[in-house]
Amino acid sequence: MTEPTRITAPDGVAPAAQYSHVVTATGRLVAVSGQLPLDEDGRVVGEGDPEAQARQVFENLRRCLAAAGATFADVVKLTYYVTDMAHLPAVRAARAAHLADDRLPAASAVQVAALVRPEFLMEIEALAVVAG
């Protein structure tokens, strides 16, 4: 796979803040379903605590990517579903622990009325592209 190209300010589009507007890559697509703040035994981590939930979600994403032979360096798109936009700083902090500022993927953030269980504050899905 060639190194993904990240474009943060396409002509005529306001510069991106904390994401890339466009990411191009060639290789094998890895789609990771929305991950929830559950530990390996299916127990909720950090009920009512967006920081703890974000850390767990990113750990789950890391494990799912690894199972497909990918890392966060291969991620080209993240989609955040949050029950309150006030949780985005916690999501960004957890993301920063896994992704360098110069390797940010394309991203979307959506506030939702609810997730599948009321104790979940967020769900995050990923698309990655790896060689092969």
The token pair at 116 is 């599948």
**Residue-averaged pLDDT of the chain:** 93
Residue 120 maps to a domain: yes
Number of domains in the chain: 1
Q: Is the pLDDT of residue 34 over 70?
A: yes
Higher-confidence position of 103 and 126: 126
Is beta strand 22-24 parallel, antiparallel or unpaired with respect to 75-82? unpaired
Q: Using one digit for the tens of pLDDT, what is the confidence trace for 111-122?
A: 999 999 999 999
* pLDDT-derived band at 38, boundaries 50, 70, 90: very high
**Is 23 strand, coil or helix?**
strand
Q: Is the pLDDT of residue 1 over 60?
A: no
The token pair at 113 is 């009325």
Residue 2 maps to a domain: no
What's the pTM?
A: 0.92
Alpha-carbon distances, residue 63 vs 6, 7, 20, 105, 126 (angstroms): 24, 27, 23, 18, 12
pLDDT of residue 131: 83
Give the domain CATH number at 116.
3.30.1330.40
pLDDT of residue 59: 98
Residue 21 maps to a domain: no
Residue 66 maps to a domain: yes
**Is 123 strand, coil or helix?**
strand
Range of the domain at 48: 26-130
Residue 12 maps to a domain: no
Residue 7 maps to a domain: no
Which residue has 């507007």 as its token pair?
A: 21
Q: Using one digit for the tens of pLDDT, what is the confidence trace for 41-71?
A: 999 999 999 999 999 999 999 999 999 999 9
Residue 16 maps to a domain: no
Residue 78 maps to a domain: yes
